[in-house]
Amino acid sequence: MPEVDIHELFERFKSGGPLTIPAGPDAARRTSERRRRIRLSAAAAAAVVVTVAASVVAYDLVPRGGTTEVTSSPTPTGPPPTPTVTDTPTSSPSPTSDGQPTEGPAAPTLQQSDVPERYRYEGDSIRGDWIVEFAASLCAPPHNLATVPTPTTQWEAAFRNGLTAEAPAIYQRVVDYVGADTARDYVDAVRRMAQECVQVIGEPKTWMVMHQAFAGDEAIVLRWSGSGRSTIYVVVRVAGLVTQIAYPESDLIDPIRIGQRAADRLCTAAATC
């Protein structure tokens, strides 16, 4: 090839026949609908578990066999308890009598008692584009947070205020970067993105840093807003663990409080506090 004519090459590249037979719009719709059904099923299953378990708790508290004595409550101290079932999401290891988890690390995600009562635990696997990485990718230039070293382990938790997939939700992801330096780099990248990002794809949205340094080793509250909707992202780091929590601003959840609760959970898991 004596001299490469790039324009000509690309023209020929474009002018050839179709590369393949696309799967079609119906396939895209089906996959999308399947994902939606999975979310709804998870929500419904969680509701059934809550209902059944609550019934069991209620049955245990009903006096039987003519006795009027009610069995003692296991934890009389502390604030008024919420129903037992809602205190223990299914993904958490059950504690032994000395309070230590039976196996593996303690789930470092938020627990039911950490979120407003109207929210119910929905599951530990969240599909969708809720994470800050996706929002960041809509910036110009895209801030590719995914290029920050890949975390070794991650946990997720979803809590929903209602049973439909459209109901407001609190989504959380915790990732373990192993090293605090790597985790710090990630938080720095998020902070930088929030300061620099101008979203040009889709509806215009802006980022705002609302609060910083209120929990854990580092903490930021970000607001992603536009077109009448705002999402709050709470990012907290404790040692090599970083969590991001997202929820609609319209649901009036205190980001400082939930960030501090998240930091406490990370502390327990990281055992560095």
- Binding status of residue 132 toward another protein by CB under 8 A: no
Nearest Cα to Cα of residue 113 among 154, 85, 94:
85
Least distance between another protein and beta carbon 227 (Å): 8
- Binding status of residue 213 toward another protein by CB under 8 A: no
HSE at residue 237, side-chain half, CA atoms within 13 A, is 22
Which of 129, 213, 228, 271 lies at the binding interface for another protein (CB under 8 A)? 129
102 by Cβ neighbours in 10 Å (0-12 / 13-18 / 19+) ranks as: exposed
- Binding status of residue 235 toward another protein by CB under 8 A: no
The DSSP symbol for 51 reads H
Least distance between another protein and beta carbon 164 (Å): 13
Interacting residues of 93 by C-beta distance below 8 A, sequence separation 6+: 101, 102, 103, 104, 106, 107
Which of 7, 72, 78, 80 lies at the binding interface for another protein (CB under 8 A)? 7
Nearest Cα to Cα of residue 178 among 147, 209, 149, 219:
149
Least distance between another protein and beta carbon 79 (Å): 39
- Binding status of residue 80 toward another protein by CB under 8 A: no
Which of 48, 61, 163, 200 lies at the binding interface for another protein (CB under 8 A)? 200
Nearer to another protein, 10 or 44 (CB): 10
3-class DSSP assignment, residue 81: coil
- Binding status of residue 150 toward another protein by CB under 8 A: yes
CB contact at 8 A, 246 and 231: yes
Prior bond to 141 cis, omega within 30?
Answer: yes
Which of 112, 137, 161, 244 lies at the binding interface for another protein (CB under 8 A)? 137
- Binding status of residue 228 toward another protein by CB under 8 A: no
List the interface residues with another protein, window 16-75 (CB under 8 A). Answer: 16-29, 31-32, 35-36
Residues paired with 208 in a beta bridge:
223
- Binding status of residue 125 toward another protein by CB under 8 A: no
Which of 60, 188, 203, 254 lies at the binding interface for another protein (CB under 8 A)? 203
Task: Determine the Cα–Cα distance for residues 273 and 238; give it in Å rounded to an integer.
Answer: 8
Residues forming contacts to another protein in the complex (CB under 8 A) are: 1, 4, 6-7, 9-10, 12-14, 16-29, 31-32, 35-36, 129, 133-134, 137-142, 144, 146, 150, 198, 200-203
